[in-house]
Amino acid sequence: MLTGKTIVLGVTGSIAAYKTANLASMLVKLNADVHVIMTQNATHFITPMTFETLTNNKCIVDTFDRNFNFDVKHVSLAKKGDLFLVAPCTANVIGKVACGICDDMLTTTIMATKAPVLFSPAMNTGMWENPILQDNLKKLKNYGYHIIAPVEGRLACGDIGSGKMPAEETLLEHILLHLAKEKDLKGRRVLITAGPTQEPIDPVRCITNHSSGKMGYAIAKMAVLRGAEVTLVSGPVAIQPFTGIKKVSVTTAQEMFDAVTTRSQDQDVIIMCSAVADYTPSHCSSQKMKKGDDDLNIPLSRTKDILQYLGDHKPKGQVLVGFSMETENLLENSQAKLMKKHADLICANSISSRDTGFGVDTNKVTLISQTEVKELPLCSKEETADMILSHIADMIKA
């Protein structure tokens, strides 16, 4: 995913530097060319040899180091890097960059580069909340630098609060947001639904389905990587959304209907990937229904058809995509759904194979529009999501 990309990691004097070693390893596994610049203070927490072993590149610390082939290193790395990430970044380095001070290799190289620069602050809560630091962060943002906000947790000093550097996986997601994909959906607003709904019978029981949300979350991830402004309306699932996605959590079909329809008119693309209940109990008991000796009959009422509503109220230029999961007559049923719902594209897939459908990491989808039927190969859900979005991007261009 990062083949051909050069990433420069800046490491400053913080105990959180141990996380950056793992991040460097993760980047190398994605085929990135990783270079590390350390401040002198950072070497008290982790050694340059650690990064050299992980990246197979010399770790730069001393601005005047003579033990390498001659080039003006702060200029060559500044030109070579596709992205800079300073993680962990101390209040000291934030202050120096904000004020244009270049007194070591890291700050000098940041000043020289035109590549995107991301800062991941790591410090004591009191330092993080200091108004001077906050002013310096505002300066960096005004200059076009990117700030990855710290998270709350237990800090090395023993305090509990903000200032903790995010996990390596989160830092990687921020890098991928900038570099992983061509931004062919930049400026497009995309709304995606994912996961099941839960229709309550009583405070304990509900009617639901086997949807894991994996396909919808994969589409949301690939869409934000391609530059889209993504809103994810999600039923109850055990997945965390990718960095940069706005998540709206819902439970019932009615809640999903309301969340989608109140936002639908502002969207360029809507992808209905969720498994919405077609029926809901006509009455939800306020107390747990006790088990009896006889069978239980639960009257069901029809839920609102979200895709039908969207098709009937679709603004000009919007691309509406539905999903069709079938056990038989896949093409016939999906083509009928395309016409009835006034959709632009139906992604049809069957649950007849163990490699497709609910809960698994692979899928095989057939794209059906009014002009063509295109069968996609069996592949991971992220790869499927990317192919679906490429088809949608072509539809937008057309």
Known binding-site residue numbers = 278, 288, 323, 337, 341
157 counts as catalytic: yes
Give CA–CA dist 143/391, Å, rounded: 36
**272, 308 in Cβ contact below 8 A?**
no
In the block, which residue shows the tokens 């038989």?
A: 328
Give CA–CA dist 59/355, Å, rounded: 44
Give CA–CA dist 107/90, Å, rounded: 12
In the block, which residue shows the tokens 């700050």?
A: 107
Q: Both tokens of residue 343? A: 């959709």
Closest Cα partner for 395 from 377, 372, 375?
A: 372
Closest Cα partner for 74 from 106, 96, 101, 34?
A: 106
Helix (H, G, I), strand (E, B) or coil at 162: strand
> Which residues, in sequence order, are bridge partners of residue 350?
326
Give CA–CA dist 390/179, Å, rounded: 17
Terminal C-alpha separation, the chain: 28
CA dist 314 to 202, 209, 270, Å?
A: 36, 28, 10
Closest Cα partner for 122 from 155, 82, 78, 99?
A: 155
Q: Both tokens of residue 226? A: 């391609």
Give CA–CA dist 136/143, Å, rounded: 11
**260, 235 in Cβ contact below 8 A?**
no
Give CA–CA dist 87/107, Å, rounded: 13
User: Would you list the DSSP string of 10-46?
Assistant: EE-SSTTHHHHHHHHHHHHHTT-EEEEEE-TGGGGTS
Give the CA radius of gyration of the chain. 25
- Annotated binding residues for CTP, written as ranges, equal 278, 288, 323, 337, 341
Of the candidates 59, 157, 206, 379, the residue annotated as catalytic is 157
**DSSP-assigned letter for residue 241:** P
Q: Which residues are catalytic?
A: 157
